[in-house]
Structure 1
């Protein structure tokens, strides 16, 4: 029986190597995953690893995967990590929205968002914003303020991307706020087509590999749905402008970090710069980790206005002379742009 030890560190390289090692045993009769060394575990690690093990099980139906060393891992069990990949231990995903500044592992069907929108006569994006605001209030234990606005905006824009671009049937996420460290981490992953295939819908973008796709996705005004010749309702504040990921990455880089993975590649951004990461395996879909430094957050509208103006200048350099406007939704929360309708 092949044995794979879960790393003691949440270091992203250690986690990606763990997933690659699991993948290397594809086709074997039995694989044992030993969680006895698991130490501190954070939201991104949970969503990424749970999806990887679940996908491994689905594509290796003749391989029996068993686990050991997980009984005393109470935090991970409470966050529904183990149940998320099929191990009958701890809470089930979707067990509750969360309390005490955390949101446990949740699997949200995209069809649920659509059904709620139809039932209420709303747009799906409005439903996403409402859910994002609720999650932001749970994490911050506040009802208003800079942190609530920044979290609402960031969660909303990532979930919008999943709904509008990924063709995924679900959005999986969990999150944690550590007030003593001025740190919030939000992790969101999908089971969709990935950035490379999504951006290939834009005939003006050259994407040869997953690294290209991630770099393009992080640039302002780059979108799979907004390009010359595409039909766009610019009167719709939710129209896709390609500024969402760019804006979020800028917020996260204020003392935090931003990680975007798809296919076989990842890119990590922080105040020190950019790091390319070879995952060592294939990720079906897209995974995002947002880490916000709560001590660096100011009024959302002011932060986004600055990033938007700088993004316009970058967009002009990319696309040539011209103005490339971010959609109203990419520039503010809906409660703000609805005032201007």
Structure 2
């Protein structure tokens, strides 16, 4: 039985690894059962990992049961909180009224890729404008939650960070849908944004050499590390993307560098590994994630001190040092989009 007590990011990654080690209960004497009877805490980042796990469980055809939560509402405030955010509705065990946002969060939101393209086509909206609209919506909500007024250039930099992560999903993930959520920490002026897909994962899209494949170095951990090397282009799933958005492998590297300069945390989980980069340390954790989950904790007070041109120049120098001569895409070189 899976007992979900604290729906935190790290805890939920551990849960996914437990599921992997148990073979998703496919060969077990007992079916998979999940209970929230002892649930005490929920954070949006943890909820996103949990929703990702549920997508994988359903895909694996695992027989599972989620214990009802109706009788827990009065005794467990976390249950009511989860219903308010719509988490339990997304997994089909509640039909209570939910709210897309609260005083400290933007609830986990599921976005269907086909629906996005259909709406864009019906309204004649270019894909690049969608990237700006969704990232602007997330950023504006984040700043509103912390009641933080910032200069336009800092606002644009924040939007750039979110935009690059959304763009990656459409470029590479081959996913039917994606999730996003955020948490605001008002006392410290930090904002945590989580964006996740349920696609093929980094190992399937990051290029490995024949030698690396021969020596079985094409692992999930190495794929994450490679994805953060500036200039190492991943295979694009959208050759018809607008020219300014054609990938050149700089997006993740630039975002990671920007976040670290704010004293924040940048984490990527894909396949069986998660790597979290702080300002001075790196933590590797076992997991089992479908697609890719990106968690970004950004220090707003220090974001204004980040010189984007300096970050870009350092990335270009690193790319040359790694032997990559391709220049960053126009979108990756531009903080403020032409669509604004």
Give the alignment's TM-score, normalised by structure 1. Answer: 0.83
Aligned equivalent of 2:206, options 189, 199, 203: 199
- Give the match's secondary structure for 2:134: helix
The CA deviation at 1:219 is: 1.1
1-side partners of 2:149 and 2:115: how far apart?
25
Shift of 1:103: 1.5
Partner Cα separation in structure 1 for residue 240 and residue 9 of structure 2: 41
Partner-residue secondary structure (3-state), 1:181: coil
Return the offset for 1:275: 2.1
CA 1:83–1:303: 2 relative to 1, 3 Å: farther
Match of 1:26 in 2: 25
Q: Do residues 304 (structure 1) and 308 (structure 2) align?
A: yes
Are the structure 2 counterparts of residues 99 and 144 from structure 1 closer, same or farther at C-alpha, using a change threshold of 3 Å? farther
Once the 2 structures are TM-superposed, how far is the Cα of residue 123 of structure 1 from its aligned partner? 2.3
Query: What is the distance in 2 between the residues matched to 1:224 and 1:203?
Result: 16
CA distance in 2 between counterparts of 1:52 and 1:328 reads 35
Is 1:116 aligned to residue 119 of structure 2?
Answer: yes
What stretches of structure 1 of length at least 5 have no aligned partner?
none
1:206-239 CA-to-partner distances (Å, cap 9, x unmatched) read: 661111111000111112248xxxx899x92222
* Cα distance change, pair 100–109 in 1 and its aligned pair in 2 (3 A): same
Higher RCO (C-alpha 8 Å, min separation 6): 2
- Look up the match of 1:44: 45
Aligned to 1:285: 291
Q: Equivalent residue for 1:209?
A: 219
Partner of 2:63: helix, strand, or coil? coil
**CA RMSD in angstroms, aligned pairs only:** 3.0
Q: Deviation string for 1:5-27 (max 9, x for gaps)? A: 22447361x32222333452513
- State the alpha-carbon separation in 2 of the partners of residues 204 and 240 from structure 1: 24
Q: Secondary structure at the match of 2:247?
A: coil
User: Does the 8 A contact of 2:52 with 2:290 survive in 1?
Assistant: no
Provide closer, same or farther for how the CA distance between residues 232 and 159 of structure 1 changes in structure 2, counting only shifts above 3 A: closer
CA–CA distance in structure 2, aligned partners of residues 319 and 225 of structure 1: 18
Segments of 5+ residues of structure 2 without an aligned counterpart are: none
Are 2:208 and 2:218, in contact at CA under 8 Å, matched by a contact in 1? no
Q: TM-score, normalised by structure 2?
A: 0.83
Map of 1:110-259 to 2, 5 A cutoff? 110-141=113-144, 145=151, 148-200=155-207, 208-225=218-235, 236-253=243-260, 254-259=262-267
Instruction: Tell me the matched-pair count.
Output: 321
Q: Distance in 2 between matches of 1:150 and 1:204?
A: 38
Deviation at 1:289, TM superposition (A): 0.6
